[in-house]
Chains A and B, each alone.
Chain A
């Protein structure tokens, strides 16, 4: 693998040293007291040394100087090797106290047996650091062993390409053996390794690991195997943070000139499970051309906490309680993912702190293919939506590449159900596009409102969702959304949700309510009873962060024949909302003896803009309205007419008044 060329260059370097020493030996046997020698440049694969000079100064002291040495991408200039006493014996050349001046001064010793051609070289760059190199003739060429004790990883860092995180700390121990026939075996242990890039998005601290790797050359390639065990420290690789937990990675395969083959790989992650993998990596194209990943029964909670959660930060799935087992088989080809088979076993998840949603016991298989129509079979035992119980349902999802179809999904909710029809989702160039039609049916309003913490309403909730489309961050409802409530209907048209998932989602909609039963409505909101029917039109309603900022609302009695009665409490509350006058008048007049009054029609309008509501009343057909506007026009016996005098009110003030009134504090506020 990658170590092979380095070892070769080292061979060349050592060979060059031998040449120099041999030359020196020859010079010495000539008994010359002082001699200077220059040599031709030495070059090899990935190696070169220029300007080699040697000076033997008598008394055994020897200096070797090299102008420049290049190994791989690294270059050193003006290298000097001093040996205070070069021993020249019959079959041995040795130096016990040499100093190599490279970037720093490194003490070294060596011994070379000329008859056996065995070189032992020891470098001691620091007190606790030794690099011992032994080179000896093997069956084929020279064998080389490097033993490292307390080797500084920072020294190796200089050899790494510039785009990988910088190694800042760490020591290694171990042995690397290289045989002349090309076999390599390495057993290394590293401790206290630290690395980081400038952005801090990729970093590790106090990392300890062991590496056991072998490579054996075959006819046209190199067979290799490697096992890595991570025993200590922590690492952050944006956005994942991992702590050492004895994770083990092992793989074996072969390497040829064009491709790296991983034939069998496995990752053992204590707590999560085992993941198997294999694949082919194209060295020239720098991409994976084939890959398989297989994992059986992974522990979902551990997988979610360690691996998935960081990717879901900022979404509604970032704080879940999870359970269950998850299995997956992935096949990748040149065009990317080709097949994915997912199996879920009793997978459950719930929104841990906000309790907005939950699904329990999800089981089934999802056999996805890049270019084939397949069918997922997934069942859900139950769940919760906004604290409302969700019953069991099945998800009959059809998949065809990046298009997903759901003909019909029926989710039981309370005593009714949510129906999603003709759901289609497909990946666009930049974002997902999806649409569906749907309905809510048979849901008891009392249960529904109680679950949502709203005042309890009665009746059944039936709503039709026409085409709902989501493009980029805009959700658009084509046609009208239809809701049956308070024995009447509510129709929402031109509904658009902008920036749906932002902090300030915007909603635009026109709403028309028809024939609402005022009896049911006023009882629900403890407003004081009114008998009758109400129509309401809200044009251009605009909500930002679910608060209204703009609308034009007009409430009016529905047309038709029905009993029209208004209680004294309701009159007082309307008065309190609308402004001055009548409440006090009632209190003073004989009208206070009546519990109920008749009316002909009632109405109220509010045009909201810039936080101010411009109010109006019911159209009474002519008459002088300069003094005020009619909210309730009397009729029958006893009749009462309620007038509003304030045309303008702050929306917030109006809301506060409404709150006071509906909270049972019916004391009118007279302006």
Chain B
């Protein structure tokens, strides 16, 4: 798995011409900032998981989550679910930024986001929805 990610990242780095340096990005790096963000995301995951399972929320190809099927969420809960999605995306953006910063290459943020986008999809459970390369929703 880790190997695959590294390979993907290498390929990506070559494609984007970011050079050898970017290929050495440590995605597993840990700092108090990253730990705080991961902790917050982990706590939220309990609330998001049923929404992934029901298909109401899906994983986007740019490393975010999105409301895929609004009809799957009762009106009274829709604001809360939208809030959950917004908070999750905010955390994900912070995570990508922090990992880039911790690698001493803030400019890698975009590449790290892309790599994570694929990583979340790879790790998604069967039945969850994700966006394919054309942006269409696909059930895993």
Contact = CB atoms under 8 A, between A and B. Distances in A.
A503 B79 contact: no
A545 B75 contact: no
A241 B75 contact: yes
Interface string A515-553: 000000000000000000000000000011111010000
A313 B83 contact: yes
B70 A199 contact: yes
Given A203-B70, A234-B75, 8 more contacts: A196-B71, A199-B67, A200-B73, A235-B75, A313-B83, A313-B86, A503-B40, A549-B31
Contacts of B70: 196, 199-201, 203
Interface of B: 31-37, 40, 67, 69-71, 73, 75-76, 78-79, 82-83, 86-87, 90-91, 94, 98
Nearest to A546: B32
Contacts, number: 77
Given A200-B70, A200-B71, A504 B79 contact: no
A589 to B, nearest CB: 42
A314 interface: yes
10 contacts: A196-B71, A200-B78, A205-B75, A234-B75, A310-B79, A502-B94, A503-B91, A544-B36, A547-B32, A549-B31
Contact of B79 (A236, A502, A543, A547): A236
Interface residues of A, number: 29
Contacts of A545: 32-33, 35-36
Nearest to A197: B70
A241 B78 contact: yes
A442 B106 CA distance: 44
Interface in A230-251: 234-236, 238-241, 243
A506 interface: yes
B98 A504 contact: yes
Interface string A58-102: 000000000000000000000000000000000000000000000
Contacts of A243: 76
Contacts of B78: 200-201, 203, 236, 238, 241
Which of A234, A499, A504, A544 gathers most chain B CB within 10 Å?
A: A504
A241 B36 contact: no
Contacts of A503: 36-37, 40, 90-91, 94
A503 B37 CA distance: 6
A544 B33 contact: yes
B94 A241 contact: no
Contacts of B83: 239, 313-314
B32 A239 contact: no
A492 to B, nearest CB: 20
B45 to A, nearest CB: 15
Interface in A256-289: none
B75 A506 contact: no
A196 B91 CA distance: 29
Interface string A188-227: 0000000010011101110000000000000000000000
A244 B91 CA distance: 35
Smallest CB-CB A-B distances: 7 pairs: A200-B70, A504-B33, A547-B32, A544-B33, A545-B36, A236-B75, A313-B83
Interface in A125-149: none
B49 to A, nearest CB: 20
B71 A241 contact: no
B87 A506 contact: no
A549 B73 contact: no
A246 to B, nearest CB: 18
Contact of A549 (B32, B67, B75): B32
A543 B35 CA distance: 13
Nearest to B98: A504
A241 B31 CA distance: 39
Nearest to A547: B32
Contacts of B75: 203-205, 234-236, 241
Nearest to B39: A503
